[in-house]
Amino acid sequence: WGSWSYPLSCGRSQRLVSFRLRVEAPRGLWDDTAANSLDVTCSDGTVLEGQGGSAGVWGNWSVPCPFGWGICGLQTRVELPQR
């Protein structure tokens, strides 16, 4: 469901170092949207704001990667459409 937004990236010599998700709580019998948006922080402190949906609340920021390290991948699970 949905469509891809435009890509965002950190500066040329920067890397992603932390993130937070906007997540909708389970709604029981209704179809849940679950994770709706993602914000990330670059190693220079720049915050890239995701363009996802507005449902749900923002979680806490992850613990930043140690100096010189970065986030190099993201794995997700997607539920099939419900009803």
Would the pTM of this model clear 0.85, i.e. be above it?
no
Residues near 24 by beta carbon (within 8 Å), at least 6 away in sequence: 32, 33, 34, 36, 55, 56
Express as a percent the part of the chain with pLDDT over 70: 87
pLDDT per position as a tens digit, 36-64: 889 999 999 999 998 888 889 999 999 99
